[in-house]
Amino acid sequence: MGATKTGLFTKQQNDAANLAKALAHPARIAILQHLVKINACICGDLVEELGLAQATISQHLKELKAVGLIQGTVEGTSICYCINPETWKQYRDLFGKFFDCSVANGNCC
Amino acid sequence: MGATKTGLFTKQQNDAANLAKALAHPARIAILQHLVKINACICGDLVEELGLAQATISQHLKELKAVGLIQGTVEGTSICYCINPETWKQYRDLFGKFFDCSVANGNCC
DNA sequence: CCCATATATTGCAATATTACGATGAATGGA
DNA sequence: TCCATTCATCGTAATATTGCAATATATGGG
């Protein structure tokens, strides 16, 4: 045991959880914020920006790319990463809907 | 090694990551959705609703409570859980700000 | 082709999460 | 008081994540 029982939940729930998982690390939050800030695309600058090893950054980038939050294109000898605007907006809407579920009706407890 | 290097990041980044971590499991998404739907507060019904053991549900509830997304009050022999509207809105705004960072400017790659 | 630079992948160790049975604590009724 | 119900906590096993050194891969310049 120890493995998440994915089969018990809807695709939508698993998707939301997967996106949240991609955001569930401060390094990945920091990477996204940096990419948003410097609209121009960055590559290995992230290694200096954050204090993590190159292999570690590469792994975080891989996870962000896996959920489609960022995209990378080869640019000479380096690789240019930037936000993927489409999935970004898509996820913004997903979270927007999730949180806007009219919870205003005060506590019941 | 293996522990997240929390010290490298800002409090805001760590907070955002912690909230995301709370949402990073389909069972917790399902619990929140159920609480939102049935405004009336639920307790052990969640054990039947999802297919997980009581101990497992209890653990997920604990994590959701730890980040303040839900609250529970004793109600006779059972415990009544519901969304905490204040932190809920607070987190909605946090994610709203995060995602609204003017990413509209198309790809650069 | 050889070298330097930039990024990805692999392998491993440390730590965290997930799940559940068993047990403990609290409440209400008989 | 004793018992049943409800939930929390503990202990444990399985699995996932994090981080990095070492190594592999790819690109451009000479």
Dig out the tokens for A84 from the structure. 């993927």
Q: Cα–Cα distances in Å, from A10 out to A17, B30, B39?
A: 11, 9, 21
Strands (E) across chain A are located at 70-75, 78-83
In angstroms, the CA B102 to CA A54 distance is 28
Q: Does residue A3 lie within 7 Å of nucleic acid chain C, judged by its CB?
A: yes
d(CA A85, CA B107): 7
- State chain B's mean pLDDT as an integer: 89
pLDDT in tens, A36-64: 988 777 878 999 999 999 999 999 999 99
Within A24-84, where are the H helices? Answer: 26-37, 45-49, 54-66
A103 and B96 in contact by Cβ < 8 A? no
* Gap from B48 CA to D7 C1', Å: 14
For the segment B92-103, the average pLDDT, to the nearest whole number, is 81
Q: How does pLDDT run across A9-32, given as a tens digit for each residue?
A: 999 999 999 999 999 999 999 999
Structural domains present in chain A? 12-96 (1.10.10.10)
Contact assignment for B72 to A36 by CB distance below 8 Å: no
Chain A residues inside the 8 Å CB shell of B25? 4, 17
pLDDT confidence band for B1 (50 / 70 / 90): low
Q: How far apart are CA B10 and CA B28, in angstroms?
A: 26
Coil, helix or strand at residue B73: strand
Q: Are A19 and A67 contacting, i.e. CB atoms less than 8 angstroms apart?
A: yes
Is the sign of the CA dihedral A67, A70, A73, A76 positive or negative? negative
Note the helical H segments in B5-109.
11-23, 26-37, 45-49, 54-66, 85-99
Tens of pLDDT, residue by residue over A70-96, are 999 998 889 999 999 999 999 988 888
For residue B62, give how far its alpha carbon lies from the nearest alpha carbon of chain A (Å).
17
Binned at pLDDT 50, 70 and 90, residue B104 comes out as: low
Nearest to B14 among A26, A52, A92 (CB): A26
**Best-predicted range by mean pLDDT among A104-108, B7-11, B39-43?**
B7-11
| Alpha carbon distance, N-terminus to C-terminus of chain A | 34
| Closest residue to C23 (CA, C1′) | B55
User: Which of A4, A14, A28, A29 is the mutation pick for testing B, counting most B CBs within 10 A?
Assistant: A29
